[in-house]
Copies of this chain bind each other. A is one copy, B any other.
Amino acid sequence: MLIARVVGSAVSTIKDANLRGLKLLVVQEATPADVVRGEPFVAADTIGAGEGELVLIVTGSAARCTDKTRNFPVDAAIIGILDSLEVGGEVAFRKH
């Protein structure tokens, strides 16, 4: 699972019918200290994440293993909001 920050959102009217009602968020991979890195991409939100939050993202077929995305054409999904990350015995991130 990727550590990523929600940085925005996407709007698409003409899209696969199964995607209607799915919230599509723009995300960017982040370090455990919440520093964004890499390029933005779009993930389906399955848990009610909001902009600025640090989240867990699954990619590939795992993105379709949720009640909100099963069998849909989705290859990236937010499946958790991170409360905290600990690395090397230290708190790297804690949600405010």
Chain A residues within CB distance 8 Å of chain B: 1-3, 7-16, 18-19, 24, 26, 29, 31-32, 37, 39-44, 46-48, 51, 56, 58-66, 71-77, 79-89, 92
A1 with B87: CB separation less than 8 A: no
Number of copies: 5
**Is B62 a contact partner of A64 (Cβ separation < 8 A)?**
yes
A13 to B75, CA, bound (A): 23
One of B18, B46, B76, B85 near A1 (C-beta < 8 A): B76
Task: Note all chain B residues with C-beta closer than 8 A to A10.
Answer: 3, 56, 82, 84-86
Instruction: Check A1–B41 contact: CB distance below 8 A.
Output: yes
Among A7, A12, A48, A85, residue most surrounded by chain B Cβ atoms (within 10 Å): A12
